[in-house]
Amino acid sequence: MKIIDGKVHRFVELIVYGCQMNVSDAERMAGQLASIGYEPTEAMGEADLILINTCCVRESAEDRVYGKIGEIKHLKEQNPALIFGITGCMAQKEGEALIRRAPHIDFVLGTNKVHELTHVVQEIEAERGHVVDVQFAETELPEGMPVARQNKFSVWVPIMYGCNNFCTYCIVPYVRGRERSRRPEEVVAEVREAVRQGAKEVTLLGQNVNSYGKDHKRADFADLLKMVDEVPGIERVRFMTSHPKDLSDKLIETIRAGKHICEHIHLPVQHGSNRILRAMHRIYTVEDYRALVARIRAALPTVSLTTDLIVGFPGETEEDFSELLAFLREIRYDSAYTFLYSKRSGTPAATMDGQVPEKVKHERLERLMAVQDAISREKNEALLGTEAEVLVEGPSKHDAAVWNGRTRTNKLVLFPHGEEQPGDLVRVKITQPQTWVLKGERL
């Protein structure tokens, strides 16, 4: 708390781990907290309220959160008035156990309770004590929450919450609940408002956007994408994540016919062996996925494809792993997020036979990354001398004289500063393609 010109200022530090859905939730938390007078700060010592919006998709994510919880204990000793809350997926998974383990936590709020945040904070301000609320009552989706966006030009818009797929390795369906789709008119209204406030790019978010609307049947994902594409003033429309099992031909045609829909699809394959895909409960086979990629590339010749891969799933043999490498060489993704399988208790894979030793997992991950990095580099090198439309994001972390931006295909571009400003769409010539970035010059 600070008193500036006789006015009391209170500050919140919001620490966010995990996926874009967590970033998006955090923006709604920040919006609500602003409505009761909390201003954002990045200086932990200054905060009156610290929130960690947590992830538990892998053990490493949880370890980071426990490390942070430990750090905050000292702050709380110095400043007992500090309010400390845990939200997000680990809050949902652990509930009260978090407070038993770390009694300096004041409250634990589950993933379905984002809209309750101000109430809980005010309750603790008034009477202290602990609050735990991780209930998953099936109620109407909360709408109309204020949102404090991190980036005004490129915005996240959640279109659905939860997941019904239960891939056997994954904790997300347990901590995010079943699929619930927002109404199309709510999504479109939010997009319109963001564009009115200056947004150029909108990314529609869901664990599996292709099953959008299966619950309310008011519109499917292709219909929604078309509605968003038609919002006046919008420049770019993106979406993630697409599950390969239900990416329809109607959707491919909608992307092709769209005016602002970016030619990038994040299409997690997870593995390249049918035996492993079956054990993962991914529903598709390597053959299905290959045919889907062929349909996508036939309709969208300039599309970039990215993916997620897991190595060391239980029972993965050297032969399965070779199939995965061969599949990568065949599909030639633009880039891939690669993960070591992490055992999540409560999921079916955690108790499967044939858990792969850590050493083997690490060794396979190295080999996998070497194959993918070479492909990413070759694909980027093919862009030497080409021109791309880039949305300027802001200064590069390493060099303030250089702008960061993204192509429509979601590739990171660095180019020296000119007159342009963040939020501008500019044309850049690619002069130095690398594995992770394209360096270029403004045209």
Report what 22 binds from ligand F3S, ligand SF4, ligand SAH, none; CB cut-off 5-8 Å by kind: ligand F3S
Contact between 308 and ligand SAH per CB under 6 A: yes
Report what 188 binds from ligand F3S, ligand SF4, ligand SAH, none; CB cut-off 5-8 Å by kind: none
Contact between 411 and ligand SF4 per CB under 6 A: no
Three-state secondary structure of the chain: CEEECCEEEEEEEEEECCCHHHHHHHHHHHHHHHHCCEEECCCHHHCCEEEEEECCCCHHHHHHHHHHHHHHHHHHHHCCCCEEEEEEHHHHHHCCHHHHHCCCCCEEECCCCHHHHHHHHHHHHHHCCCEEECCCCCCCCCCCCCCCCCCCCEEEEECEECCCCCCCCCCHHHHHCCCEECCHHHHHHHHHHHHHCCCCEEEEECCCHHHCCCCCCCCCHHHHHHHHHCCCCCCEEEEECCCHHHCCHHHHHHHHHCCCECCEEECCCECCCHHHHHHHCCCCCHHHHHHHHHHHHHHCCCCEEEEEEEECCCCCCHHHHHHHHHHHHHHCCCEEEEEECCCCCCCHHHHCCCCCCHHHHHHHHHHHHHHHHHHHHHHHHCCCCCEEEEEEEEECCCCCCEEEEEECCCCEEEEECCCCCCCCEEEEEEEEECCCCEEEEEC
Contact between 167 and ligand SF4 per CB under 6 A: yes
- Restricting to residues 404-443, which ones interact with ligand SAH according to CB under 6 A? none
- Restricting to residues 322-381, which ones interact with ligand F3S according to CB under 6 A? none
Q: Tell the smallest beta-carbon distance from residue 53 to ligand F3S (Å).
A: 8
Count other C-beta atoms under 10 Å from residue 67's C-beta.
Answer: 9
Contact between 170 and ligand SF4 per CB under 6 A: yes
- Contact code string over 58-87 relative to ligand SAH, x by CB under 6 A: x-----------------------------
In the list 32, 92, 210, 270, the residue contacting ligand SAH (rule: CB under 6 A) is 270
- Restricting to residues 39-58, which ones interact with ligand SAH according to CB under 6 A? 57-58
Contact between 172 and ligand SAH per CB under 6 A: yes
Contact between 170 and ligand SAH per CB under 6 A: yes
Q: Can you read off the two tokens belonging to residue 202?
A: 């909108």
Identify which of residues 57 and 252 has a Cβ nearer to ligand F3S in the complex. Answer: 57
Report the candidate in 248, 269, 307 with the shortest Cα–Cα distance to residue 167. Answer: 269
Report what 211 binds from ligand F3S, ligand SF4, ligand SAH, none; CB cut-off 5-8 Å by kind: none
Specify the stretch interacting with ligand SAH by CB under 6 A; choose among 119-127, 154-162, 165-173, 316-324: 165-173
Contact between 414 and ligand SF4 per CB under 6 A: no
In the list 47, 117, 163, 261, the residue contacting ligand SF4 (rule: CB under 6 A) is 163
Specify the stretch interacting with ligand SF4 by CB under 6 A; choose among 119-127, 169-177, 185-193, 376-384: 169-177
Q: Tell the smallest beta-carbon distance from residue 204 to ligand F3S (Å).
A: 16
Find all residues with CB under 8 Å of 238, minimum gap 6, and list them. 201, 202, 203, 204, 261, 262, 264, 410
Q: Tell the smallest beta-carbon distance from residue 261 to ligand SF4 (Å).
A: 22
In the list 14, 120, 172, 375, the residue contacting ligand F3S (rule: CB under 6 A) is 172
Identify which of residues 175 and 231 has a Cβ nearer to ligand F3S in the complex. Answer: 175
Q: Binding residues for ligand SF4, how many (CB under 6 A)?
A: 10
Decide the pairing of beta strands 264-266 and 304-311. Answer: parallel
Identify which of residues 182 and 260 has a Cβ nearer to ligand SF4 in the complex. Answer: 182
- Restricting to residues 11-30, which ones interact with ligand F3S according to CB under 6 A? 18-19, 21-22
User: 436 vs 67, 294, 305, 335, 374, CA distance in Å?
Assistant: 29, 25, 14, 8, 11
- Restricting to residues 51-70, which ones interact with ligand F3S according to CB under 6 A? 55-57
Which residues of this chain interact with ligand SF4, rule CB under 6 A? 163, 165-167, 170, 172-173, 207-208, 243
Which residues of this chain interact with ligand SAH, rule CB under 6 A? 57-58, 169-170, 172, 207-208, 241, 243, 268, 270, 308, 310, 339, 341-342, 344
Which residues of this chain interact with ligand F3S, rule CB under 6 A? 18-19, 21-22, 55-57, 88-89, 172, 175-176
